[in-house]
Each structure stands twice: as structure tokens, then as C-alpha cells.
A and B are shown apart, each in its own frame.
Chain A
Amino acid sequence: AQSVTQLDSQVPVFEEAPVELRCNYSSSVSVYLFWYVQYPNQGLQLLLKYLSGSTLVKGINGFEAEFNKSQTSFHLRKPSVHISDTAEYFCAVSESSGGSNYKLTFGKGTLLTVNP
């Protein structure tokens, strides 16, 4: 079984500042890693994913994340945030063994609030 810990429940930042949202996971098998964003009153949108290969992955809206296997982390970063980035961000993990097991385990979420 896997688990995901998002270390910060809320992150307030000023517009144009850099931000890092932290995510650590626990698993006994190899995993795929995902970041999703949920804007107010909307469903989840995939920001980026790590399946294999380069540990630095780039996503939509200028976000990127780095997979660190030794630290079991997958932190999300953006060098300069906008007011429109205000949303809830969820880190998620699934087993990479494939087959029929693509179930996602989600972290509790981090509310990013960008202030002017």
C-alpha cells in the first residue's frame, strides 16, 4: 500500500514570488507520481506526471516537479506565481506495476493562495 504526505496544508505567497509545494510518499514498490490542481468549484486537472526517465518533469502553467527516489519526494515548484494559480494542489501516487492496478492514492492537498 502507498501513502502520500503533503507537508503544508496552506501556502500563502505574494504574486511573482517563487513557490514550492512539498510532497513525500511511501511505497514498497515502484510508483508513478502525479500533481493535480483543483480550482474553486471545479474538478481536478492534471498538472504533470512522472512515469519514468528524467527526474525533472515540466507541466502546464509553468509548473515543474522533481522526483527524488532516495528522499521519496516529488516537490512541485514554480519560479513566479500569478493570482490565477490560487487553487488546491494534490499530490498522488499509483503503483507502476501496471496491469489493472492504476488506483491513485492522494495526499490531503495544499491550498496555494497568491496575494497581490
Chain B
Amino acid sequence: SAVISQKPSRDICQRGTSLTIQCQVDSQVTMMFWYRQQPGQSLTLIATANQGSEATYESGFVIDKFPISRPNLTFSTLTVSNMSPEDSSIYLCSGARGGGGTQYFGPGTRLTVL
């Protein structure tokens, strides 16, 4: 399985501020994704992180709110901008390889916005 790490593991933030989450994957990963898991809910895909170009966002998610970078194959960041309490969630990154594209997930970042 792929090795995926995220930081921070958790944070408590004030309304109106921004938080950047980092994700590091091992070199065998080709694709990276960001998901949100709201309290008691399933996972919802935010975007596909594209190396060296703009991320591909899913319906309901916009770049101004969730800017994503992927400067190289193994590293990506997700910023949650101008936060409100509704942004309190677990944010997870995942990596996929070829041959079925099985996704492996990081441990997640638990965000609480006050």
C-alpha cells in the first residue's frame, strides 16, 4: 500500500482565518485527491490535485474557497479559506496508482472552526 502522511493532524481555528493542510505521498502514486468528511457523514470529493496545473473541482467546491496546489508528484496542499463553523470537518487526502487506481488515504486532518 502507498504511504501517505498529512499535517496537521488536527487544528482549532477562528472564524475568518485560513488553514493550509499538507499531504505527502510515496513516489508510486500518480493521482492525488482531497476529500471532506463532515461530522457523522460519508466522504465527499473536493477536487483532484493536478501536478503543475489547476486542480479539478467537483460541483459545489470552488478554487477561491479551497485553493489546492501540487507542485510535484508527491506533495499537495489544500487551503480552507475564510473559514466558518460549517467548515468543521475531517479533510483527507488520498493517492492512487495505476492498475485499477486503488486509492490509499492519509490519516486525515480534523478541523474545528469556532
Contacts and interface: CB of A to CB of B under 8 A. Distances in A.
B33 interface: yes
Interface residues of A, number: 24
A43 B103 contact: no
A75 interface: no
Contacts of B42: 90, 106-109
Nearest to B33: A103
Interface residues on B, range: 20 to 34
A43 B100 contact: no
Interface stretch (B63-71, B72-80, B105-113): B105-113
A46 B100 contact: no
A98 B98 CA distance: 8
A102 interface: yes
Looking at chain A's contact residues, is the secondary structure mostly helix, strand, loop, or mixed? loop
Contact of B107 (A36, A42, A98, A100): A42
B107 A90 contact: no
Interface string A83-116: 0000000100010101010111111110000000
A21 B94 CA distance: 24
A17 interface: no
Contacts of A107: 42
A43 B90 CA distance: 9
Contacts of A104: 33, 43, 45, 94, 103
Contacts of B104: 46
A97 B106 CA distance: 25
B1 A46 contact: yes
Contact of B43 (A51, A94, A100, A106): A106
Given A103-B33, A106-B44, 18 more contacts: A32-B101, A42-B107, A43-B92, A43-B106, A44-B105, A46-B102, A49-B100, A94-B101, A96-B100, A102-B96, A102-B101, A103-B45, A104-B33, A104-B103, A105-B45, A106-B43, A108-B41, A109-B42
